[in-house]
Amino acid sequence: DTLWDVARDEVEKREKSGDDGKRVEVWEKSVLFMGSKNGGKTTIILRCLEREEVPKPTLALEYTFGRRAKRHNAPKDIAHFWEIGGGTSLLELIQIPITISNIWSFGVVLVLDLSRPNELWMTMENLLQATRNHVNKIVAKLEKTDPEVATEIKQKMQSNLQRDHPDYDLVDPFPIPLVIIGSKYDIFHEFDSEMRKIISRTLRFVSHYYGASLVFTSKSEALLLKARVLIHHLAFGYDRSKSVSVDHSKPLFIPAGLDSLSQIGPPPTSDSNIGKIRANTPLELWKKVFEKTFPPKSFCDLQDSKDPAQDSQYAEYEVDVMRAQKNQELEQYKRNASKSWKEMDFDPD
């Protein structure tokens, strides 16, 4: 077959008629998973795709895909799953999967490790800010090249919150669909009740403020199923669940737009203290209150990152031999260059 034959066959598949005789188009969506290092992102992806595989450490940026049909004999929709490893150490990789050609069909899943609250806000802030900055640059370009798509993306930002919602003018929706997952709920459940309440209310506020869905999960099949419902809505356009669980003594499950500031309440601190906190935005206020209870841990993901070249799981004899040879050549070059530099005769004039 020629390239044109392959392209024609692909188009025919995508425009295959459904059971009712109408043409059905295959939609493709992309989802980027990011979040806490060792937070369980790979496990969540595998369960969403119903793959019985042992999760392996993510190396930088990894890709897989899933296919689902909305009904019997219908063509299968495709979802592209991207995952960034390393916590916040590889922020620059965000720009690889999110491009000007797929921005309109892109979504983000942010996985936060509930068992490490002192790292939670910084991880969330850095990853979401880097993503938002990149998306804003793409939208700015689209405003010049394809203003209709840019307008559609902007309108989509507000779609999770009805105009008659009392918080419509008080939130700042994320520029693309967002799901926030609190992982390792089994460990989190053993925390002091007051600590759980602060973390839960804070994540409720952040999710509502960004127009995101929120769910707590663990290795429990029942909780993974709840997370899968939200991800399948994001990736395959399945109907979104309308059930809500806001009880802080239980795993949270709040689809986008179904919470409110009045239900969440003010930041969890005494009235006397909150008046002394200086903040320019509601988000900044919640951050300062949260970090009073959970001071940000000083750490550097880059220092913790292992060199993949030294990881036995990625060993390849031919590649490793060639790498060792090139390292020797580089060292020899450095020595020769240093020697040549010292032997150079500089004219003082």
DSSP result, 276-304: T---SSHHHHHHHHHHHHSPPP---HHHH
Please indicate whether residue 303 or residue 79 has the higher confidence score (pLDDT): 79
Mean pLDDT of 47-70: 81
Using pLDDT thresholds of 50, 70 and 90, give the confidence band for residue 27. Answer: confident
With a cut of 80, say whether residue 131 has pLDDT above it: yes
With a cut of 50, say whether residue 166 has pLDDT above it: yes
Please indicate whether residue 159 or residue 256 has the higher confidence score (pLDDT): 256
With a cut of 50, say whether residue 19 has pLDDT above it: no
Mean pLDDT of 25-45: 86
Range among 49-53, 88-92, 156-160, 284-288 with highest mean pLDDT value: 284-288
Using pLDDT thresholds of 50, 70 and 90, give the confidence band for residue 202. Answer: very high
With a cut of 80, say whether residue 91 has pLDDT above it: yes
**pLDDT tens track for 279-308:** 788 899 999 999 989 998 755 544 444 556
Please indicate whether residue 58 or residue 128 has the higher confidence score (pLDDT): 128
Mean pLDDT of 46-67: 82
Instruction: Determine phi and psi for 63, rounding to 5 degrees.
Output: -130, 140
Q: What is the pLDDT of residue 273?
A: 65
| Residues in a beta bridge with 32 | 82, 108
Mean pLDDT of 54-82: 80
Q: What is the pLDDT of residue 281?
A: 87
If phi over 0 gives left and psi between -120 and 50 gives alpha, with beta otherwise, what is residue 47? alpha
Share of the chain above pLDDT 90, in %: 34
Please indicate whether residue 273 or residue 184 has the higher confidence score (pLDDT): 184
Ranking 147-161, 188-202, 227-241 by mean pLDDT, the lowest is: 147-161
**pLDDT tens track for 235-268:** 888 877 788 999 998 999 999 989 999 999 988 8
With a cut of 50, say whether residue 20 has pLDDT above it: no
Q: What is the pLDDT of residue 123?
A: 94
- Would you say 113 and 119 are in contact if contact means Cβ atoms under 8 Å apart? yes
Mean pLDDT of 182-188: 95
Q: What is the pLDDT of residue 163?
A: 79
Q: What is the pLDDT of residue 332?
A: 81
What are the structural domains of the chain? 26-293 (3.40.50.300)
With a cut of 70, say whether residue 43 has pLDDT above it: yes
**pLDDT tens track for 305-348:** 455 666 666 678 788 888 888 888 888 877 777 666 556 555 55
Q: What is the pLDDT of residue 155?
A: 79
Stated as kind and residue range, the H or E segment containing 272 is helix 271-274
- Which residue spans within 36-113 are E strands per DSSP? 61-68, 77-84, 106-113
Mean pLDDT of 21-40: 76
Mean pLDDT of 192-213: 94
Within 8 A by CB and 6+ apart from 160, the residues are: 173, 177, 211, 256, 257
Q: What is the pLDDT of residue 340?
A: 63
DSSP readout, 179-238?
Answer: EEEEE-HHHHTTS-HHHHHHHHHHHHHHHHHTT-EEEE--S-HHHHHHHHHHHHHHHH-P
Q: How far apart are CA 9 and CA 26, in angstroms?
A: 13
Q: How far apart are CA 37 and CA 86, in angstroms?
A: 5
Q: What is the pLDDT of residue 272?
A: 59
Q: Decide: helix, strand or coil at residue 76.
A: coil
Q: State the average pLDDT for the chain.
A: 82
